[in-house]
Amino acid sequence: MFEKLETPEEVFTFKLGATLTMEKQLVDVLGELDEQAQRSEIKQALREHRVETRRHVANIERCFKLLGEEIDDSPCGAIEGIAKEGKATIKKTDESLLDAVILSAAVEAEHHEIAVYETLIIHAQARGASEVAALLNQNLEQEKHALQTARSATEKIAAEGIKVVAVA
């Protein structure tokens, strides 16, 4: 949509579009990870976050409408890189370690998403787009919760892995 970004509004629209692309890609990635996850609680968390991520897509699309702007699907190289790295790591990982690898990728992705939403909210507020900022904040809060869930599961799996190694 943009060849050159020339105004703060264009930068915001571009970044909002990249965020939309990111969330759409994550809907697919979460489905793939659900199929590969071993533990039922991780599968359930991935499914729940996939439902939330679909709502994130809808919220971002609503942001475009509130701003009176055309929906822009700008590329999101960062999430593409995280997904590519995660898939490559999963391919070479023993099945018994898949959940740890999946959670690692989830934590990385959530940190990225949180940073993106925090920045978008700042710019939406500066623009006076309070309804847009509120929708983005809904997404941010769900991302923070997803990060905490992934972090807690990672801690549990890491502790279990260390106990297994110590016994052996």
pLDDT given at position 162: 54
Number of domains, the chain: 1
- The answer to whether position 2 is within a domain reads no
pLDDT at position 164 over 50 = no
Q: What is the pLDDT of residues 50-96, one digit of tens each?
A: 999 999 999 999 999 999 999 988 888 888 898 889 889 989 988 88
Q: What is the pLDDT of residues 96-153, one digit of tens each?
A: 889 999 999 999 999 999 999 999 999 999 999 999 999 999 999 999 999 999 999 9
- The answer to whether position 115 is within a domain reads yes
- The answer to whether position 3 is within a domain reads no
This model's pTM is above 0.85? yes
C-alpha 128/C-alpha 139 separation (Å) is: 19
- The answer to whether position 122 is within a domain reads yes
The two tokens of residue 100 are 């740890």
Other CB atoms within 10 A of residue 54 CB: 15
pLDDT at position 41 over 60 = yes
- The answer to whether position 1 is within a domain reads no
Asked if 140 contacts 114 with a C-beta cutoff of 8 angstroms, the reply is: yes
Collapsed DSSP state (helix, strand, coil) of residue 7: coil
Other CB atoms within 10 A of residue 154 CB: 17
DSSP of 107-143, one letter per residue? HHHHHHHHHHHHHHHHHHHHTT-HHHHHHHHHHHHHH
C-alpha 132/C-alpha 124 separation (Å) is: 6
Q: State the CATH number of the domain containing residue 62.
A: 1.20.1260.10
The two tokens of residue 59 are 């919220």
Of the pLDDT bands very low, low, confident and very high (cuts 50, 70, 90), residue 1 is low
Residue 52 structural domain = 8-167
Distance, first Cα to last Cα, the chain = 57
Q: Which residue stretches of the chain are H helix?
A: 8-36, 40-67, 77-91, 98-126, 130-167
pLDDT given at position 165: 45
pLDDT given at position 160: 81
